Amino acid sequence: MYAEIIIPLALPKNYTWAIPTEMSEGVMIGMRVEVMLGSNKRYAGIIKRIVNEKPASFNPKPILGVLDDEPIVFQAQLDLWEWMANYYMCTEGEVMQAAIPSHLKISSESVFILNEESHIDGQQLTDTEYIISEALQIKKQLSLVEIQKLLDKKSVYPVINKLIQKGICSVLETMHDKYTIKFENVLHLHPHYKSEAELEKLMNDWSRAPKQLALLLSFLHLQKTEGHVQQKALLEKSGASSAQLKALVDKGIIVIEKRKVDRLAVDLSLGNRNLHQLSPQQQLAFNSITEQMNTHSVNLLHGITGSGKTQIYAALIEKAIQANQQALYMLPEIALTAQMIRRLKQYFGGKIAIYHSKFNPNERVEIWNKVKSGEVKIVLGARSALFLPYKNLSLIIVDEEHDPSYKQQDPAPRYQARDTAIYYANKLGAKIVLGSATPSIETFYNAMQNKFGYYHLNERFSEGALPKMTIVDTKKQSDQSAILTPYLLEAIQATVANNKQVILFQNKRGYAPYIICETCGWIPHCKQCDVSLTLHKAKHLLSCHYCGATYPVVHTCEACGKQSFKQKSFGTEQIEEKLAKALPHIRIARMDLDNVKGKNEHDQLIQLFEQKQIDVLVGTQMVAKGLDFENVDLVGIVDADSLLNFNQYRVNERAFQMMEQVSGRAGRKNDQGRVIVQLSQTNHPVIEFVKDHDYLSFYQFEINNRKHFAYPPFSRLMSILFKHKENQLAEEAANHFLKSLDPLIQKTVIGPAQPIINRIRNKYIWELCIKISKQPQQLQIAKKQLLHFIHLISVHPRYKSVQIIIDIDPN
């Protein structure tokens, strides 16, 4: 027998290995096996197919070992991977790379590290496992080759895999924080005192150390109420010191057990709070969506900001888990998951788990397993949560479905997670609900074509109106250089005086997006990219927002030698500074990529704001999305022009969505909020729609544009990038490629052209954009040609070093 195996690499196709007879009993599709690639590379690959015929053209090498006792992925997942590889024109290996947690991937390059806090119990290890764990204790980390030497055999994956499962070692990942298993101290009464009589005797004998007695009583109380006593909880509750506890341990009254903390374990008592009663409007929406699910697998819930979509999602999820099925709740960004999990945990307690790429590898493996076993019923997560091994998924919610972050840009697979979720739901027979206050044009079009079910919830839960919009014309200001107009400043002051909160939105971080020599006009650029450098004042440096490179602040012009730099435009850092100067008594915080790192910092800031310890939150799009604050009365869009000046066919859509979404943070409870938009292009058509919160008219306007220029949803776009250190070579390759395309397809190509940013990380970029008709055959033909020519270029003597990147349905 032979097996087609997916290796987590960008190989052009899957290869086949022979299944040795002694293994043939144990192997199943979806299991991991160890295979050799080339002469010395070893990988843990996943069996995709098992066949009887030997490949005609070559002699397959044997599989070296089987890692799993049962499949780690289901057939449906493998089908999804295959579809993604075909549709997004990448390899199944790349999809696998993105889809499974790193601890389930092992390769020759892997380094294995000791889990410092793990408990090694020799009794529970086989001899080989013991040898490795001993070596790990001495050396802390081992490479695959070292392990092979230690055991004097080549096939060591199964042993490593067992050690990972037993929590003794993990795969070193430079990208993530080093993982350590968490332990907690759980306290027990010494068995001797389990009998009432002995316990009573103990208490009566107690003459000295009343504090220890008090501690013991607290312990007994906790044990009775909680079932088990955590050291931390006991000390907190009793106010006793660790020394006092130690005394009880030393006397042999209390025994400490080190127990592995199950990171997913949550206080189940938190959950089960009844779901909010749906308002009559919400109930109508819920009923309608549920009914339309009978005829449509995809439904769009179009509910204005603050209409309470989350409540409806929660009710839909409740229904799914009542039927003993699983539900997936997708959010576009990790940043949003923290607030949402706090909201949803109230209802669902321990039935819900978060999953996203910022979790450490072991946490991810734990969730992986619990989703597979069905123990976790609800998953809240970003894109990658789609790849979990759901046992019986019946509902997918794609919240903020319009959000561009659903598209993965780099690396491959460059997939649109919303679209992929639609495909997957159909495949599984699950239902999918897309939700947004500002649906993407494509989604709304599909709803209008009756391809998707649709419900419009047009009232806020609070029954308050949407916020009142005021446009401040920056052209008419007496002080043109002021970033915050007097009107906006006054409104901020009045709002804060009224004990309400403010959000100020600006989509650029840093202090000044560029600096310029006033004498000659020279602008400092990144050495590796065609990008002007942003000034970060507090950090005192210039930084490239494309490659992350930083430079010292320049004072002398490299072109003319003068020292006359001027700062241009402004980012969040400068707004924060100017505001603090203008209104020194208010409490300001900033939320952008420079200021919040990691999921915790972000959430801490949100919680501070929720607790009203901050008056004004200044931020980038991080503050615009999906968050629910009840006390925000005023939103300021500081520089709306910057949202309108993009050379991109989606510019109107993005600008409308961004302004409507950030406006939607105002006045979510009770009073009507207000939004102040600072803007110079006051005649821009999008502004009219924003002013009236008029999505439907905006859609009409925009769909006509799309039709006129044959942009999606009336066509499909594919972008092909050619990247090379030499500009000319990249351009030539793009032209060569274009000329070799079928004349019919050639006609639909825009380019080759240089994108606005035409060099990133020292590589010049040329782009071809193909606009194909919506007929599926057309797409297939185009893709086939593309694959063919990509292959030709990859072996072309002159162009083979040109990097080609294909992006299907680009953002």
* Footprint on this chain of ligand ADP (rule: CB under 6 A): 276-279, 282, 303, 305-311, 461, 628, 630, 668
Closer residue to ligand ADP (CB): 408 or 657: 657
Closer residue to Zn ion (CB): 555 or 585: 555
Instruction: Say which entry of ligand ADP, Zn ion, none residue 612 contacts (CB below 5 to 8 A, set by partner kind).
Output: none
Closer residue to Zn ion (CB): 139 or 562: 562
Closer residue to ligand ADP (CB): 628 or 660: 628
Total residues at interface with Zn ion (CB under 5 A):
14
- Could you tell me the smallest distance in angstroms from the CB atom of residue 180 to Zn ion? 35
Instruction: Say which entry of ligand ADP, Zn ion, none residue 309 contacts (CB below 5 to 8 A, set by partner kind).
Output: ligand ADP
Instruction: Say which entry of ligand ADP, Zn ion, none residue 301 contacts (CB below 5 to 8 A, set by partner kind).
Output: none
Closer residue to Zn ion (CB): 10 or 757: 757
> By C-alpha distance, which of 455, 424, 462 is closest to 307?
462
Footprint of Zn ion on 559-588 (CB under 5 A): 559-560
Instruction: Say which entry of Zn ion, ligand ADP, none residue 279 contacts (CB below 5 to 8 A, set by partner kind).
Output: ligand ADP
3-state secondary structure labels for all residues of 431-500: EEEEEECCCCHHHHHHHHCCCCEEEEECCCCCCCCCCEEEEEEHHHCCCCCCCCCHHHHHHHHHHHHCCC
Between CA 733 and CA 740 the distance in angstroms is 11
Please, are residues 188 and 257 in contact by the beta-carbon 8 Å criterion? yes
Closer residue to ligand ADP (CB): 442 or 628: 628
Closer residue to ligand ADP (CB): 415 or 461: 461
Instruction: Say which entry of Zn ion, ligand ADP, none residue 323 contacts (CB below 5 to 8 A, set by partner kind).
Output: none
Instruction: Say which entry of Zn ion, ligand ADP, none residue 549 contacts (CB below 5 to 8 A, set by partner kind).
Output: Zn ion
Instruction: Say which entry of Zn ion, ligand ADP, none residue 282 contacts (CB below 5 to 8 A, set by partner kind).
Output: ligand ADP
Of 47, 84, 469, 517, the one binding Zn ion by CB under 5 A:
517
> By C-alpha distance, which of 651, 632, 633, 630 is closest to 642?
651
Closer residue to Zn ion (CB): 130 or 546: 546
- Could you tell me the smallest distance in angstroms from the CB atom of residue 566 to Zn ion? 11
Maximum Cα–Cα distance for the chain, whole Å?
99
- Could you tell me the smallest distance in angstroms from the CB atom of residue 757 to Zn ion? 9
- Could you tell me the smallest distance in angstroms from the CB atom of residue 221 to ligand ADP? 36
- Could you tell me the smallest distance in angstroms from the CB atom of residue 651 to Zn ion? 24
Closer residue to ligand ADP (CB): 627 or 687: 627
Contacts of 530 (CB under 8 A, 6+ apart): 757, 758, 759, 760
- Could you tell me the smallest distance in angstroms from the CB atom of residue 400 to ligand ADP? 9
Closer residue to ligand ADP (CB): 93 or 303: 303
- Could you tell me the smallest distance in angstroms from the CB atom of residue 437 to Zn ion? 35
- Could you tell me the smallest distance in angstroms from the CB atom of residue 621 to Zn ion? 21
679 strand-pairing partners: 473
Q: Is-cis flag, bond preceding 712, omega within 30?
A: no
- Could you tell me the smallest distance in angstroms from the CB atom of residue 301 to ligand ADP? 9
Structure tokens at 696: 């439907």
Between CA 489 and CA 469 the distance in angstroms is 16
- Exposure of 89 in the CB half-sphere (CA atoms within 13 A): 22
Instruction: Say which entry of Zn ion, ligand ADP, none residue 560 contacts (CB below 5 to 8 A, set by partner kind).
Output: Zn ion
Structure tokens at 687: 């502004």
Closer residue to ligand ADP (CB): 345 or 668: 668
Please, are residues 172 and 113 in contact by the beta-carbon 8 Å criterion? yes
Between CA 304 and CA 286 the distance in angstroms is 15
The secondary structure element, H or E, covering residue 232 is helix 231-238
Please report whether residue 557 would count as binding Zn ion according to CB under 5 A. Answer: yes
Closer residue to ligand ADP (CB): 303 or 381: 303
- Could you tell me the smallest distance in angstroms from the CB atom of residue 501 to ligand ADP? 14
Please report whether residue 757 would count as binding Zn ion according to CB under 5 A. Answer: no
Residue 19's Cβ-count burial label (10 Å; 0-12, 13-18, 19+) is: buried
Please, are residues 416 and 106 in contact by the beta-carbon 8 Å criterion? no
- Could you tell me the smallest distance in angstroms from the CB atom of residue 759 to Zn ion? 9
- Rounded to the nearest angstrom, the gap between the alpha carbon of residue 775 and the centroid of all alpha carbons in its chain is 32
Of 544, 637, 638, 644, the one binding Zn ion by CB under 5 A:
544
Closer residue to ligand ADP (CB): 306 or 713: 306
- Could you tell me the smallest distance in angstroms from the CB atom of residue 570 to ligand ADP? 29
- Could you tell me the smallest distance in angstroms from the CB atom of residue 305 to ligand ADP? 4
Instruction: Say which entry of Zn ion, ligand ADP, none residue 519 contacts (CB below 5 to 8 A, set by partner kind).
Output: Zn ion
Strands 141-143 vs 111-114: parallel, antiparallel or unpaired: antiparallel
Between CA 87 and CA 90 the distance in angstroms is 8
Question: Residues 740, 408, 703, CA angle at the centre, nearest 5°?
Answer: 75
407 strand-pairing partners: 416
Footprint of Zn ion on 520-539 (CB under 5 A): 520, 522, 526, 528-529
> By C-alpha distance, which of 365, 382, 136, 372 is closest to 262?
365
Please report whether residue 502 would count as binding Zn ion according to CB under 5 A. Answer: no
Please, are residues 636 and 505 in contact by the beta-carbon 8 Å criterion? yes
> By C-alpha distance, which of 216, 217, 205, 224 is closest to 245?
216
E strands in 40-168 = 41-51, 65-66, 111-114, 141-143
Instruction: Say which entry of Zn ion, ligand ADP, none residue 658 contacts (CB below 5 to 8 A, set by partner kind).
Output: none
In residues, how long is the chain?
811
Please report, for the chain, how many H helices and E strands are present, in that order: 25, 34
Residue burial 406-441, b: 16+ Cβ < 10 Å; e: rest: bbbeeebbbbbbbbbbbbbbeebebbbbbbbbbbbb
Residues near Zn ion, by CB under 5 A: 517, 519-520, 522, 526, 528-529, 544, 546-547, 549, 557, 559-560
